[in-house]
Amino acid sequence: MKDHHISPEGSRAAESLADTELTLQEMVLQSPDIRDFLVELAVLAASRLSVPGNRIHGGVTVLRHKRPEAVASSDAVAHALDEMQNGFGDGPCLTALRCKATVLVPDLTAERRWAPYVRTAAGKGVSSILAVPLDLAGEAEAVLNLYSGCSNGFSGDDIGTVEAFAHQAASSLRLVLRITQLSEARNDLAAAMQSRTVIDMAVGAIMAENRCTRDTAFAILTKASSTRNTKLRDVAASVIASISGEKQISTHFDV
């Protein structure tokens, strides 16, 4: 059996990716929502690539309702550059987002595509741009945008690092999206159950007050809702408050 030699560079790269994966896992657990996660993602990407004399600025653009939105950035510079590109409606980052492929602009002064945006970005001190899409498997569409003030500010190794990072980040982001969806579904269910509880209590109170059937009581409640142009739950809550003075109704499912 042959011994496989692992170079120090390869070992450090593997350790770096392992550290990145651990950091992303911690971000999933600690970020209260998707936007905060994306901000941490932009900061992490920018800091990992920045070196003395070549500070990298990072941002994340998400496509919502077919319109790009700069949702997160490592700093104000990245946010302004993302917003500016979205304003032009075209550029390397938006191309990467639409084509789902990495786009590198090593030197903006030699770039002939996206002329209006490139001229403006160069005027802001940007010399090279790297854009890597995040594969979210249909959950959403997003791209990681990186900006450098140096020509050829991203090496071949940098591109490989960012693509590996983007792959890990996309997996974590898909998890965040699913957690958020589950949380929203749980909150919707809890709200629906609470509304049902309030309405049932109000119907019971009306039945007792008017000595009528459940159907009649419910009809009285819905008529009041329609007449006042008020949500049924709010009318039910006012009925309960008028009888018992209780304004906060909890359910057995509250946690």
Q: Evaluate if residue 97 carries a pLDDT over 80.
A: yes
Three-state SS for 13-50 is: HHHHHHHHHHHHHHHHHHCCCHHHHHHHHHHHHHHHHC
Q: Evaluate if residue 151 carries a pLDDT over 70.
A: yes
pLDDT level of residue 79 (50, 70, 90 thresholds) = very high
State the total domains in the chain: 2
Residue that terminates a domain, selected from 183, 207, 232: 183
Q: Are residues 172 and 202 in the same domain?
A: no
Residue that terminates a domain, selected from 162, 183, 204: 183
Residue that terminates a domain, selected from 133, 164, 183: 183
Q: Are residues 145 and 233 in the same domain?
A: no
Q: 136 lies in a domain?
A: yes
Q: Evaluate if residue 242 carries a pLDDT over 90.
A: no
Q: Which one-letter DSSP state was computed for residue 216?
A: H
The reported pLDDT for the residue numbered 223 is: 83
Span 118-142, average pLDDT: 86
Q: Evaluate if residue 31 carries a pLDDT over 80.
A: no
* φ, ψ at 58 (rounded to 5°): -125, 145
